[in-house]
Structure 1
Amino acid sequence: MFYGRCHDGSRCGATGNAGRQVVNELLALGQRVRAVTRNAAESHLPAQVEVVEGDLTRPETIPFDGVTAVHMLTNAGADYAELLSGPDLVKQAEEAGVRRITVLWSGHRSAMEEAVTASSLEWTVLRPVDFMSNALVWAESVRVKGEVREPFAYARSALVHEGDIGAVAAAVLVRGGHGGRTYTLTGPESLSVPEQVAALSAAVGREIRYVEQSEAEARAEMLAAGRPAEVVDVLLGWKRDMPAEGYTVVSTVEDVLGRPARSFALWAREHAGRFISGAGTR
């Protein structure tokens, strides 16, 4: 098995929140796992994982030899830049004898997705609407100020547990039977930010205030944190005008895994320590 990564460890990649779940789920299913990262020394993956250094933007550095199934990304970095080397990577995978591939969607049709769906591989596209782990961006504010600052209190999201993303990817790669399909992945409910904050409050055992920002305030804060303007536009636009698929709950996780999708309340309990004063950042 093989797992690729991108820069943005908070969202994807073998060393990211969802990526680690893919790796762990593959191990739990008894698979040999090869994880590709730009920095093997900082991967902190289980000892039984074969960690190799490579860069998806440089296909010649990606070792597909002996690999039967691949989980691939569509972004090239933390700035959400599209991974343009998809066609070359897919061609290499085909030539190496890879049979199955899953692709983690990034919000739009990409060169990677185009190449995969046109290939001879048994492909499945995974489209998580939003990651529960994105709530970790509030951790410092909660620890220091006891508050979450976000715009668009009305906006709802059917966000999905990163562990369920990993479990679905692993099940598809190992068991097969999902070729030629595009799966939207959601959690079991659609929640507003105030409802997520309430779940975090319950998990940490103290009140966390929700402070609704204006869009202009949110934009200024994100730009000051160093996010590129085009990324800020995408993120705010998604929240402001959430498409129906972003807040509509679907049963894909349960259909594939045979169990219900995990709730945000459970996620909040699992990560409560990250929101408590004195907690570390990892």
Structure 2
Amino acid sequence: MYLITGGRGAVATRLTTLLHRDRLPVRVGSARPEDLTPPDGVATVRLDLTDPATFPAALDGVTTVFLYAAPDRIGDFAAEAHHAGVTHVVLLSSSSVLGPDAAGDPLAKSHLDVEQALLASPLTTTILRPGSFASNAGAWAWPIKAGRPVSLPYPHAHNDAIHEHDVAEAAYAAVTDPRHRGGRFTLTGPDSLTFAGQIEQLAAAIGRPIPVHRASREEWKREMADHIPAVYADALLNWWESHDGRPVPLTDAVEHLTGHPARPFTTWAADHATEFTAS
């Protein structure tokens, strides 16, 4: 039995579909299982990764877990998983853990804490470390639909935008193919793109120009204050500044795991174009 955590997320949803398609036994966990809409025949269970009382029922009969990185009770989760007979965990972590000061970076630390806890446990752990999700561009949907400029403090900062379907398909390979057990995989998109470049590709997908406003750091933080705590906003700004005009390294891990190259951002933009045009 496969247990998929974070069941409402895009990666978990796609992974569940792939496992069900191939008639593999799968259970989906979420803190709010009533909000899930899995394929017919897929069981759901309440699983709150901050509440150990929900762990035993979710893990009953499970041998492989796809795990979102939630650090609060990871030691308890690992212990209960081992007690329940789980033999393999595939962790969705982040390439931010590979940074020079990951332990001091609030964006990286939660992922690093989960990695370290699992690696110290008896569980065989496979780690997927995606870079920047292409879906981060979804934050631009509101101003684009409103006809307003997109605020970018570092429009020429590079990132390695990866399609959520590539992450899910890499996860499928990791949970089902024993050759990948215990591996560490840094997942990237196929291109090092600037935010300005992504905006251009998104504009082409929706068929109209998208204006950009070059915001100061403080201006951007004020705009995001209701959505991103200041400590995380500063960490994001520092990361963007460090990659301003500097291409990011790319990997072929998606192709290694899935057998196909990573999807370009143009594909993501086409797949999600209506999210930037619908009222």
- TM-score norm. by structure 1 comes to 0.87
Note the 1:39-54 alignment, pairs <5 A.
Answer: 39-54=32-47
**Contact preservation (8 Å) 1:87, 1:111:** no
Give ranges in structure 1 of 5+ residues lacking alignment.
6-13, 76-82
Structure 2 contact 154–244 (Cα < 8 Å) conserved: no
Task: Tell me if the contact between 1:147 and 1:211 (Cα under 8 Å) persists in the aligned partners.
Answer: yes
Q: How does 1:223-242 map to 2 (within 5 A)?
A: 223=225, 225-242=226-243
Tell which deviates more after alignment, 93-102 or 238-247: 238-247
What does residue 54 of structure 2 align with?
61
Q: What is the CA–CA distance in structure 2 between the aligned matches of 1:242 and 1:50, rounded to whole Å? A: 43
Q: Which has the higher helix share?
A: 2
2:201 aligned partner? 199
Letter of the 1:31 counterpart: L
**Shift of the alpha carbon at 1:244?**
12
What corresponds to 2:102 in structure 1? Answer: none
Letter matched to residue 23 of structure 1: T
Aligned equivalent of 1:25 = 18
- Secondary structure, aligned partner of 2:29: strand
| 2:74 partner letter | G
Report what 2:186 is aligned to. 184
CA distance in 2, matches of 1:137, 1:243: 20
Give 1:268 shift: 0.3
* Closer, same or farther: CA 245–176 of 1 in aligned 2, 3 Å: farther
| Shift in alpha-carbon separation, 1:244–1:18, aligned structure 2, 3 A | farther
5+ long unaligned stretches in structure 2: 97-107
> For residues 74-127 of structure 1, what are the alpha-carbon distances to aligned partners after superposition, in whole Å with 9 as ceiling and x for unaligned?
23xxxxxxx221111111111111121111114335332112112332211111
5 Å-filtered alignment, 1:9-158, equals 14-62=7-55, 63-75=58-70, 83-106=71-94, 107=96, 108=108, 110-158=112-160
Q: Measured at CA, do residues 136 and 195 of structure 1 come closer, stay the same or move farther in structure 2, by a change above 3 Å?
A: same
Structure 2 residue identity aligned to 1:29: D
Q: 1:193 to 1:241 in 2, by over 3 A?
A: same
Q: How large is the Cα RMSD of the aligned pairs?
A: 2.0
Alignment pair present for 1:264 and 2:259: no
Q: Letter of the 1:237 partner, please give it.
A: N
1:159 and 2:161 correspond: yes
C-alpha displacement at 1:220, in angstroms? Answer: 1.1
Instruction: Map Cα deviations across residues 21-57 of structure 1 (whole Å, 9 max, x no partner).
Output: 2222222333222111111221233233211112111
Task: Report the residue type matching 2:84 in the other structure.
Answer: A
Q: If the length of structure 2 is used for normalisation, what is the TM-score?
A: 0.88
Distance change >3 Å, CA 33–CA 250, structure 1 → 2:
same
Deviation for aligned residue 1:20: 1.5
Structure 2 partner of 1:253: 254
CA distance in 2, matches of 1:45, 1:112: 27
The 2-side partners of 1:218 and 1:243 are apart by 16
Q: Where do residues 1-16 of structure 1 align in structure 2 (5 Å cutoff)?
A: 1-5=2-6, 14-16=7-9
Query: 1:276 corresponds to which residue?
Result: 277
User: Contact conserved, 1:116 with 1:123, CA < 8 A, in 2?
Assistant: yes
Q: 1:94 to 1:105 in 2, by over 3 A?
A: same
